[in-house]
Structure 1
Amino acid sequence: MKTLKVLGAVMLVSTMVLSACGTKEEKTPAASGGDGGNTTAKQKLDLRWFIFAPANASLPSADKDFVKKAIEEKFNVSLKIDYLPFGTDYDNKINVIMTSGDHPDMFLANGAASQKFAVDGLLADQSAFVTKATMPNYFKWITEDEVKNYQLKGIKHSRSPMPFQRNTYGSFYVRKDWLDKFNLQAPKSYDELMNAMRKFTNDDPDGNGKKDTYGFSAAAAGGRLPLDFPAWVNNGLVADFMIDDKNLEFVETQSSLKLQNVLQNVKDMVKDGVVDPDWFVNKSPQHLDKGSQGKIGVLWSTDKNFALESVPTSVQARTKQIDPKADWQPIFPFANQPYGWKQGTTGGASPFLFSKTVAEKSPDKIKRSVEILDWLASEEGYLMTHYGLEGRDYKKDGKKITIDPASYEANITKNGSFLDVWKFFTNLDEPSVLGLEVIDPRVSDRDRAILKFVEAIPKHSGEPVTLAPPEGMNIGDFRKEMARLQNVVLFDDKDASNWPKYREELMTKYKGQQIFQAYVDQVNAVRPADKQLKPFK
C-alpha cells in the first residue's frame, strides 16, 4: 500500500472552514463556502484518509506536491493518505481496517461494501455533516434528491455519492492497423469481431514471427465475469442494471437467465484460444498494459482517453511508443443491439464514508475532512487537481482554461501522474459543471473524431434511483456466490446449461428474489402509474 504523510506547520490561515477543535463555535458544521475561507483560527488536526487511486499513479515528494501544500495551508492539517487501486485488494484492505476498529477519518468503498458497513452499524450519520450549507461546491455536482435516494432503507444518512460522470465513454477498441494488415473492415457484428480476434491470435499481426498475441483480454482479478467481454452486449445485457421499458421489466444483468448465453459465448472464446490466458487473474490495468505492449487486438474501456494520441498516458500513446503504426479505434460491433453502455447514475457512484467511531470520538476530524472534500469540488480545487498550477501548467482567461501540455508532462506526469491520486473526489472530465471551457492544444482531428464516435454509442438511461437491498440484507453475500457459480460454469462445467439451476439457488437461498424485488419497488416509487415495472422474476 502506498502511503504519504502530509506535514504542515501550525498557522493561522484564511479559509472558509470551521473553528478550532473543541471550541464552542464548532458545535454544528459551518459552510466551507466558495474556494477559500474566513479568518477563523483553526486548531491543527491530524487526518487519515483511505482512497482509491490508479495503479500507475503515485504521490511525489512533499516539495513537488502542490496539492498537498495547498490543503495543509488552507485547512491546517497533517494529512496521511493511504491508497490502492479500486478492486479486490482495496476491498480486502478496507474490510480488514473496519474489522480492526482503527478507522480512517474519511474513506471510500464500493457500493456493496458500503452497504454492509452501514447494515453492520459501522458508519456515521452524515446528516449534520453533508449539507448544502457545509458543502456548497459538492452540491453543484450532486443534487439533494440524489443524496436522499442514495440512502439505505431504514438507515439514516450514512453514505454520500462522490461526483460521477454523467456522460459515459464505454466502448470496445480495436487495433485498426492490424485490421488493415488483414484487409478487414471495422467489425459491425459479433461474428465479424470474433473473426478479427482469431486473425489477431493466429496470423501474427505484429509480424514478429511469434505466436504471442491475442484477440482479447480482460481483468477479472479472480472474481466475477468482467463486463468487458463482448458477449454481454451481444446478448442484450448492458452494464449492471437495465430498465426494459418495452416489457416493463427490471433486468439484473449479472444473474439474468440470459447469462447462460453470455457464459457459453465466453467459454467458446476461451476454447478458440483468442482470449489472453491470464484474463481471470489479471488485475486492472494489467490487461490494458498488455494492450499497450502490443499483445492484444481488442479491449473494452470506459476511459475517455483510451485511444487519444494527445494524452501521454493513454493506451494509444503508450502503444505507439512501441509500434509507431499503432492505431486504436473505437468500434460498435453490435448492429442488432440497441445499446452499447449506459449513462452515468448515482447507482454507479462510489460513496465517501465516515466511521461512527470517529464521529463519536473526534467529530471535528469529520468536519475538517468535509471542508477539504468540498474544496476539492470547488473551481479552485478542480483546476488544481486536474490541470496543475495556474500560470505554469495552464492559463486561465475568465472561464477559459488552456492547458500547457509540456509543463503538465514535466511537472505532473513525470512525477508519478500524482494528480490522478488527488482527483479521486472529482474523478470525471466534466468541467462544464463549473462553467469552465478547457482547451487542450494537443487534441487532434483524429482524437476529436474518436470522442464523437464514442459519445454517439447508444446508451440506456439506467436506474433512476440508487438501489439498495432490504434492511438487514447484504448483497455482498449474493455477489460472492454469484461469482463462484459463474466460475463453476466457466471452468468446471461442460457447457452453460446448468446456469438456470444455479440462478434458482441464488434467487432463493441467497435471497436474490427479495433483493431485486426491493429494487423494483424502489424504481416504481419514482415512476408514473402507467409505467410501473412488473414483479421481478
Structure 2
Amino acid sequence: MFRKSALVLTAIIALTGVLAACSKGNGGEGAAPGNSQPATETASAPAAESPVSSTGKFDPPVKITTARPVASDVVYKEGEDTKNNVHIQWAKDKLGINIDYIWTVGTYDAYHNKIKLALASNEPLPDVFIVEDAQLAKQVIESGRAMDISEAYDMYASERMKQMYADNPTAWQSVSKDGRKFGIPILQTGAGEDPILWIRQDWLDKLSLQAPTTIEELEAVMDAFVNQDPDGNNKKDTAGIALTLRDGFNSWVDGKFVFGAYSKDGVLPKYWHENAEGQLEYGSIHPDMKQGLAKFHEWYTKGYLFEDAGAADLFAAFEKFNQGKVGIIAGPYWMGDWPLPDVFKNVPESVIKPYPLPRGPEGVHAPGERLVKSRMFFNKDFKHMDAFFKYYDETLGYWYNDENSDFKYGFAEGYDYVLENGEAVYDPEKLPNGYINAGKYMLSWNPPNVPFVELNVYKDLATGKPAETYLEKKLAGLPPLKVEGGAVLANDLDKSVHDRFVGAPTKTMESKGVMLNKLENETFVKIVYGRLPLDDFDKFVANWKASGGDQITEEVNEWYQSVK
C-alpha cells in the first residue's frame, strides 16, 4: 500500500494543472476555496482566506509563528541563524509568508518540555509546532488547544498532498480523534530504518568467502571472521557482527531480523502484530522468541558477538565496526553515508558492500520503519491555514520533478548544490561552505518525504539507468555506498514487518511500561549471555502478563478496534 506514492508521481504532476482548472467549476474536493461548501456547525471551519496577489504571494504578507530545537544537526552559513536564513528569505520573497520563531532551545528534550509547560500553564503556543513524542501528541489533542484541521485540509491541501496521504492512510491514526484530523502526520521515507547487511568485502575476499544468503551461511562467515584472522594481525581480536543489546532489541542495529528468520508469521520483539483472530499481540511474549534467543546465545558463546554488546549503545556498535574489529553490521541503507565510511579513516584498505538480509528456516522478516515519527500541530487560533498549505505544497516540489519548483535542484543554491552552465552540481568540494542541508530550516524541521520514492530511484540508478530527472540527478550525487545500499533495500521491501500499534501510550503503559520494559530487556540479555536458562523465557511471559501486560494488551486492542 505504502509504495503506491512512488508509482503515481508522474500522474499527479500531469493531473494537478487539469484538476486546478476544472475545480473552479465543479465544486468538488479540488474546488477553489471560494466555491467550497461551508463547514457544518459541528466541525471547525477554516479561517478566512488571505489575499493573494497576481504573483502568487500573500499581499499583505501573513505571519506564521513557530518554535524549534536548534541542535547540532542544524548548520547555518556564517551570518545566518534560525530567524535569518535562506529559507526564511525564500518564504518571504516567494510566498509573502513571514516565518517567525518565537523561541528556540538547544535540544529536542528541552523543546518538548517547553511544549508540555505551555500546555500545563496555559501559555501561548506557536501557530505551527512539531511534536515527536506520541504521548505528548495525545496531550496536545486532548488539551483542546490544537486546531481541528479536517475542513482546512479538504479545502486547501493540494491534490498531490492529498494523494500522498491517500496512499498512506494509516498515517492519520497518529493525529486523529473521533474521526477528525488534529494535525499533519510527517511521513518518513518508508524504509529509513529497515536493515540490510553491511559486510567487509575485503575480508570475504581474503578468506575466499561468498556473501551469505542464509542464516547458516551467515554463521559460517562469522565463524571465519572470528577464527581466521581476517585483519591479518595474528591475533584473535575480531568479532562476527556488531550490534547493541543494551536496550533489549530496540535500536537500528539490534539484529532483530534473526527473530524473524525463525517466525513464520514474522513476529518480532518490541512489535505488536495481528493474530489470526484480528487481535494485536505483543511480539516479545510470543513463543517464536525462544528460537531467536537460543540463536543469539549460541552466537555469544562462539564469540560472534563482541563481548560488551549487552552494555554498548548503537554508537559503540558503529565504533566497533569502524575500528576494523567487526566484519558485519546490520542497519539502514543510509549508513553508507554515515557512519560507516569512518572505517576508511581507520582502515584505508577496507572495502564495504551492502547485501540483502539472509534467509532463515521461516524466510526473511525484518523490522520496518514506522511511517510517522512526528506530527505538525496548529494553534486553534491560527488564521492562515491556506498559507500553510500553500507553503507545504511548495516544499513537496523537491520530490515531484516539478519544473516550476524552486526546490527542483535542491534546497538552496550554494548550500547543497551549485549551478554550472545551467546544470546542478552536487560536489561538496564545489560548494563555497561545504554541504549545508537548508532543508532543515523548513517548518517541518526536515524536508517532507514522499514514502518509497527515494528508494525506487536508488534501484533504478543501481541498474545503470542514466540520471535524467531532477530527483535522479540529485540522488545520484549522493555517496555511492548510500545509493548502493538503497538499491539493495529497495529490492527487499516485501520482507519488512511493521509495528501495528502506532497510537499513544495507553494508561497502563504510562504507569507500568518502564517496569515491564526493564523486565523484558534484562531477561533477554541474560538469556543471551547464559545467565538465565532459555526456559526462563516462559517465566518472563507469565510475569509480564500478570504485572500489567494483559491490561496493556486489552487497551491496545481497544485502540486498534477504534481505528480499523
TM-score normalized by the length of structure 2: 0.66
Paired residue for 2:491, among 453, 456, 466?
456
SS of equivalent to 1:378: helix
CA 1:200–1:489 in 2, change beyond 3 Å: closer, same or farther?
same
Distance 1:268 1:412 in 2: 52
The structure richer in helix per residue is: 2
Task: Tell whether the 8 Å contact from 2:259 to 2:288 is kept in structure 1 after alignment.
Answer: no
Match of 1:512 in 2: 552
Q: Which digits, 9 at most, give the CA deviation of each residue in 1:488-509, with x for residues without a partner?
A: 2134551343333333444452
Q: Which digits, 9 at most, give the CA deviation of each residue in 1:65-92, with x for residues without a partner?
A: 53344245442223365575xxxxx4x5
Match of 1:139 in 2: 162
Match of 2:521 in 1: 487
Task: Tell whether the 8 Å contact from 2:213 to 2:358 is kept in structure 1 after alignment.
Answer: yes
Match of 2:537 in 1: 499
1:97 lines up with 2:114 in the alignment = yes
**Paired residue type of 1:430:** V
Paired residue for 2:373, among 350, 355, 377?
350
User: What are the ranges of 5 or more consecutive residues in structure 1 without an aligned counterpart?
Assistant: 1-17, 19-25, 85-89, 308-312, 526-537
What percentage of aligned pairs have identical amino acids?
13
1:262 lines up with 2:292 in the alignment = yes
| Distance apart, 1:160 and its partner CA | 2.9
How many residue pairs get matched? 470
Q: Which digits, 9 at most, give the CA deviation of each residue in 1:352-381, with x for residues without a partner?
A: 1337xxx25x63588866664444333446
| Distance apart, 1:384 and its partner CA | 6.2
**Paired residue type of 1:512:** I
Match of 1:196 in 2: 221
1:414 lines up with 2:434 in the alignment = yes
- Give the 5 Å matches for 1:51-450: 58-63=75-80, 66-71=86-91, 73=93, 74=95, 75-79=97-101, 90=108, 92-93=109-110, 96-101=113-118, 105=126, 106-110=128-132, 112-114=134-136, 116-118=138-140, 121=143, 124-127=146-149, 131-136=153-158, 138-143=161-166, 145-146=169-170, 148-152=172-176, 154=178, 156-166=180-190, 170-209=195-234, 213-219=238-244, 222=247, 225-226=250-251, 228-229=254-255, 230-236=257-263, 237=266, 240-243=271-274, 250=280, 252-277=282-307, 279=309, 282-285=312-315, 287-303=317-333, 305-307=334-336, 313-315=337-339, 317-321=341-345, 322-341=347-366, 348-354=371-377, 359=379, 363-364=382-383, 372-379=391-398, 380=405, 383=408, 392-393=417-418, 404-406=425-427, 408-411=428-431, 414-415=434-435, 419=439, 424-427=446-449, 430=453, 437-439=471-473
| Distance apart, 1:255 and its partner CA | 4.0
| Distance apart, 1:288 and its partner CA | 3.3
SS of equivalent to 1:266: helix
Task: Tell whether the 8 Å contact from 1:152 to 1:468 is kept in structure 2 after alignment.
Answer: no
CA 1:484–1:421 in 2, change beyond 3 Å: closer, same or farther?
farther
CA 1:61–1:119 in 2, change beyond 3 Å: closer, same or farther?
same
**Paired residue type of 2:494:** K
Distance 1:467 1:183 in 2: 45
| Distance apart, 1:28 and its partner CA | 0.3
| Distance apart, 1:173 and its partner CA | 2.0
Could you say what the CA RMSD is over the residues aligned between the two structures, in angstroms? Answer: 4.7
Please say which of residues 112-121 and 483-492 is displaced more in the overlay.
112-121
Distance 1:202 1:294 in 2: 15
Task: Tell whether the 8 Å contact from 2:248 to 2:525 is kept in structure 1 after alignment.
Answer: no
CA 1:81–1:190 in 2, change beyond 3 Å: closer, same or farther?
farther
1:468 lines up with 2:491 in the alignment = no
Distance 1:497 1:122 in 2: 49
Distance 2:247 2:432 in 1: 33
CA 1:462–1:494 in 2, change beyond 3 Å: closer, same or farther?
closer
Task: Tell whether the 8 Å contact from 1:117 to 1:123 is kept in structure 2 after alignment.
Answer: no
